[in-house]
Amino acid sequence: MRLIVIGKEGQVARALAERVLAHGATAVLLGRPQLDLADPSGIEDILVETGGDLIVNTAAYTAVDQAEAEPELAEAVNGIGAGAVAGAAATMGVPIIHLSTDYVFDGTAWRPYREGDEPRPLGVYGSSKLLGERAVAAEAPDHVILRTAWIYSPFGRNFVRTMLRLARERDEVGVVADQVGSPTSALDIADGVIAIARNLLARQDEARLRGIFHMTGLGTASWAEFATEIFRLSARHGGPTARVRPIAAADYPTPARRPDDSRLDCTKLASVHGVALPDWHTSLEPCIKRLLEEAKAQETRS
């Protein structure tokens, strides 16, 4: 199985690049400047020339606050660009797996969101991702749209890396305690994506395998609870730690509003595709251990 992965530096793209060989697959990663979702004119030619069994689009404009000042760019990348990738997949006759987000919801349901719940984005980022979902569905009938949330990994910028950095700089960190969600490992997402890809290729006429699915780690936490666990595990492995001072989201104003409740119901994914991600506590410890080992190795080299 040969995957074409849109995105090079993102957490899920890098996780896929790391995990494909363990699953007996290969991946070609495409990203800027070779392929730019903000400039969809050449996307189809590049993808057709690259060739593959399935396309995974992990690329996105993800600067949630900056999107409020750059709505046209966010919509170009997350909406129009995503549709262009899906159109190319349809031309090639291959399935597409497209990553979306909990930000298509407003977080006011106070229960885990199901796939059929009506989206109500709070800001430009969520609106642009919803635009992308609809463009993908319109352009490529052979699609899976995966909504996920609170992604962390050993790669790039994410909450876990930020907390470890702050713990090296201060004794106490203020963290939002009134927003909840499900921390999700990018490496777990990669394993899930590969399993879904195999299902799509093996069962090409099975309509129920297509459509929108939710995929997050098992279990929930507030940001403050997530940070507390990060510091506990870091201390266990000799890393930096800090006290968590719970704060309200209103005490940490941002240009874009975030959903207060980002929980997603992943029952459909488990029942249809047989994919259920591990509990977030289970996946967090090896991630932290790896980050601490990499930081120690970097210190030794310098």
Which sequence positions are flagged as catalytic?
Answer: 125
Q: In this structure, are residues 98 and 132 in contact, taking their beta carbons and an 8 Å threshold?
A: yes
How many CA atoms are closer than 13 Å to the CA of 8, on its beta-carbon side?
A: 9
How many CA atoms are closer than 13 Å to the CA of 41, on its beta-carbon side?
A: 1
| Cα separation, 153 vs 155, whole angstroms | 5
Q: What is the CA radius of gyration of the chain?
A: 19
Place of tokens 């507030």: 222
Question: How, if at all, do strands 54-57 and 184-185 pair?
Answer: unpaired
**Which tokens go with 25?**
């697959």
**Which tokens go with 207?**
């309509």
